[in-house]
Amino acid sequence: MSDFQEELRSEGYENIVIIAVGQTNISAFNSNFTANSDLPLVMDEYPFLPVRAQFSPNGLHKQVIILDYDGTLLDTYTLNSGLNWSAKNYITDVIAQNYEQSILLGDINDDQLINIQDIILTINLILANEHNESADLNSDGIVNILDIVQLVNIILGNGQ
């Protein structure tokens, strides 16, 4: 499971986490999991198992429940045959359809930095009369001199 999380993150799905939900009464799984993984492990309190009860009728043995950012259910997959190619593909598809890429306003070239290169690219956008969501810093639907001013302020540390 750790390897799969790494694979997902290497494909650009940084904000993905796989959490194991064990039980306080199954120490074998809990200890085996922690010995072979760097993924979070939480323990559902036996005998009431409130986490499992919350997910009911899901939350069965070997089931992976995929939730959106706000906790809504996206899909489930039961690993009856382990985490094989088919399972990975299915889960990856669900994530790909729902993953939200974060946009750093002002980072026109998407290098995770805001600097003079982004100003140049923004000027080029204005001259070409093109629109770019990252360049529209004031979100008025137009890329113009006001966005350049805001971009300069960000670089100078006077804005966000």
Partner 1 sequence: MTFLAILSFGIVLADEFEYSLEDYNSTSPTFGSNVWNPEYSDHITLHYFSSQG
* Residues lying near partner 1 in the complex (CB under 8 A): 1, 13, 15-23, 26-30, 32-34, 37-43, 45, 48, 50-55, 59-74, 79, 91, 95, 98-99
Smaller CB distance to partner 1: residue 59 or 126? 59
Main-chain phi, psi angles of 75, to 5 degrees: -175, 170
Instruction: Give the shortest CB-135-to-partner 1 separation in angstroms.
Output: 24
Smaller CB distance to partner 1: residue 45 or 133? 45
Instruction: Give the shortest CB-109-to-partner 1 separation in angstroms.
Output: 24
Smaller CB distance to partner 1: residue 103 or 120? 103
Long-range contacts, stretch 36-39, CB < 8 angstroms, 24+ apart:
36/2, 37/1, 37/2, 38/2, 39/1, 39/2, 39/5
Query: How many other C-beta atoms are found inside a 10 Å radius of the C-beta of residue 150?
Result: 19
Residue 154 CA to residue 106 CA, distance in Å, equals 8
Residue 83 CA to residue 94 CA, distance in Å, equals 15
Instruction: Give the shortest CB-110-to-partner 1 separation in angstroms.
Output: 19
Smaller CB distance to partner 1: residue 50 or 157? 50
Instruction: Give the shortest CB-103-to-partner 1 separation in angstroms.
Output: 14
Residue type, 122: T
